Structure 1
Amino acid sequence: MRELDEELAESGVEIRHKLQSAGLRPTRQRVALAELLFAQGDRHLAAEDLHGEALASGVPVSLATVYNTLHQFTDAGMLRILSVEGSRTYFDTNTSDHHHFYVEEDGEVIDVPVSSLSVQNLPEPPEGMEVANIDVVIRLRRKR
């Protein structure tokens, strides 16, 4: 039990440092939400999913605060937004350039292995513009 407490304390210190390095003040709610987001490796979560996890973990936070925090994390470069469906936005803890599968029936987002896809023959961007990122979402459904 003591080892677990020490591990959680270490994790909290790392999260606080990560927030400070991103220019964000490590408030209690930001730290709690960041711990939920980043403790399990790369994830794709909607705000509603994180809100549910927070409440289940005993973190009293409103859905509006979760949305605001996710957008602050995105603006700070800690997350990237992934729009795969009109009414639902996912937040990706993996901020590197990569693509996704989207399982329509489950609403699940899965990373595409980096070497599996190449995008070629892009059109020239308009004058004064450059390509910032390319997001490819491959929609999947179960065979019938």
Structure 2
Amino acid sequence: MARTAIERGTEWLARGGLRPTRQRVALAALLVGDGNDRHVTAEGLFALATRANDRVSLATVYNTLRAFCEAGLMQEVVVDGARSYFDTRMDDHPHFFWEDTADLFDAPAEQLQIARLPDLPPGAELSRVDVVIRLRRA
């Protein structure tokens, strides 16, 4: 029996220890309901929710995405100071970003080689390394 988008979303929320409120379930179903990974902006997810007739405010979308990140279900990819994407794929991997269309998608992780990182300041530990490869049309 195939799982529905709502079932997948509810199971995803449970993995993060989040209470399945109506808004969280609706947004989770849009994010992981088909089993595929997503890169979304808050505005893009709000538009998807609106088209699906899910009644959520843009503020709720922002707050819910932050809660998903804090629960370890998503990670935020900051492209510039004014634009963040939220990624449902949680392993370390690089991204391609098309500057003309503002599309973000996964780059092949197995092709990325980082030979050396700079020494960390005293008292610091590495949290993660984000790699966003910016593209423009030739």
Under TM normalisation by the shorter chain, which class is it? over 0.9
Q: Secondary structure at the match of 1:31?
A: helix
1:58-116 deviation line (CA, Å, top 9, x unaligned): 10110000000000000000000001122111001111100111100000011111111
Residue 17 (str. 1) matches residue 50 (str. 2): no
Please say if 1:138 is aligned against 2:122.
no
Paired residue for 1:128? Answer: 123
| Aligned-pair CA distance for 1:7 | 4.2
Query: Stretches of 4+ moved more than 2 A in 1?
Result: 11-15
Aligned match of 1:27 in 21, 33, 43? 21
Q: CA deviation at 1:23?
A: 1.5
Map of 2:62 onto structure 1? 67
The structure with more helix, counted as a fraction of residues: 1
Cα distance per residue 1:39-63 (max 9 Å; x no partner): 2411110000000000000101100
Displacement, 1:15?
Answer: 2.3
What secondary structure does 2:116 align onto? coil
CA-based RMSD of the aligned residues comes to 1.5
Give secondary structure in 1 for the equivalent of 2:66. Answer: helix
Q: What is the TM-score of this pair, normalised by structure 1?
A: 0.89
More off after superposition, 109-118 vs 64-73: 109-118
Q: Identity percentage over the alignment?
A: 46
Q: Distance in 1 between matches of 2:115 and 2:3?
A: 45
**CA 39–17 in structure 1, closer or farther in 2 if over 3 Å, else same:** closer
Point out the structure with max Rg over C-alpha: 1
Q: Tell me how far 1:136 sits from its aligned partner.
A: 1.1
Q: Distance in 2 between matches of 1:110 and 1:17?
A: 25
Matches within 5 A, 1:30-49: 30-40=24-34, 41-49=36-44
SS in structure 2 opposite 1:83? strand
Unaligned runs of 5+ in 1: none
The CA distance in 1 between the partners of 2:43 and 2:86, in whole Å, is: 11
Matched to 1:109, the amino acid is: L
